[in-house]
Amino acid sequence: MVDIKYLETQANEIRKWAIKEVYSASSGHIGGALSISDIVSVLYFNELNVDSKNPMWADRDRFVLSKGHTCAAVYAALAMKGYFDTDELYKFRNINSFLEGHPALGKIPGIDMSTGSLGQGLSAANGMALAGKMDNKDYRVYAIIGDGETEEGQIWEAAMTAAHYKLDNLCVFLDDNGLQIDGRTCVVMNVEPLDEKFEAFGWNVIKIDGHNIKQILDALSEVKQVKGKPSIVLAKAIKGKGVSFMENQAGWHGKAPNKEEYEKAMSELSNK
């Protein structure tokens, strides 16, 4: 049986590390890192078939963080899994560190694709999933995209492609937190209804609370039963989740906390 409490604890640790990273760098994107932490926890500590001692293992599951600016959460999970020492997280975005502000393939152990230019990660995940099918491999491909990212046309080209090639070994999580750097997605460029759009493109669509560990687990179980089409999990989320003054605030999309804010955030997360 899956230990939900353990996964919740890991998600909380990911949030604390992400804040430490961004605070240490005085730079980074904390809002979205906090909103995906529960999904990242379930993926890395329950779902992904990976090996930190052999990061490039040919039969590993693949993961693509298409919204690469939220990498602080993924770096935290990788360090916690043993891909590299957690002390490296304090060097996040440092000129002498391998932990760049966006994931870099070939530089960071455990990273399967360089991302940062929004809209492109899903296409890369498609390629990995298609390659798996062509090579008769059993590995699965997972990706996280953002709701603001669906304003990019390439996302819909990739959505069409995934359905055309029946990539049922592909599972995408959409971080539906309703905010992007310029404000509310519905104001900047309304992307709703996302469920109907992906269904029209031929995808299996699942809607969940992105902070409910059980719902994330159930969605992943359902995805594995789907044949002949890719799956997307629309995860309703809160930007800045877990820190009261960051929650649902577009201003925390790409801002580092000062000392007082850092201490308050860490205090709140330490008391959860």
Q: How confident is the model over 32-45, as a mean pLDDT?
A: 98
Q: How confident is the model over 90-109, as a mean pLDDT?
A: 97
pLDDT band of residue 235 (cuts 50, 70, 90) is: very high
Whether residue 233 contacts residue 173, with contact meaning beta carbons closer than 8 Å, is answered with yes
Flag whether pLDDT at 136 surpasses 90: yes
Whether residue 28 contacts residue 256, with contact meaning beta carbons closer than 8 Å, is answered with yes
Q: How confident is the model over 177-201, as a mean pLDDT?
A: 96
Q: In 3D, which of 157, 156, 74, 155 has the Cα closest to residue 113?
A: 74
Instruction: Compute the distance between CA of residue 23 and CA of residue 43 in angstroms, rounded to an integer.
Output: 25
pLDDT at position 272, please? Answer: 80
Q: With respect to CATH, is domain 4-270 assigned 3.40.50.970?
A: yes
Flag whether pLDDT at 110 surpasses 90: yes
Q: How confident is the model over 6-28, as a mean pLDDT?
A: 98
Q: Which residues pair with 176 in a beta bridge?
A: 236
Question: Average pLDDT of the chain?
Answer: 97
Whether residue 16 contacts residue 24, with contact meaning beta carbons closer than 8 Å, is answered with no
Whether residue 70 contacts residue 36, with contact meaning beta carbons closer than 8 Å, is answered with yes
> Strands 183-184 and 179-180, how do they pair?
antiparallel
Domain ranges of the chain: 4-270
Q: How many CB atoms lie within 10 A of CB 227?
A: 8
Q: How confident is the model over 91-98, as a mean pLDDT?
A: 97
Q: CA end-to-end span of the chain, whole Å?
A: 23
pTM above 0.85, yes or no: yes
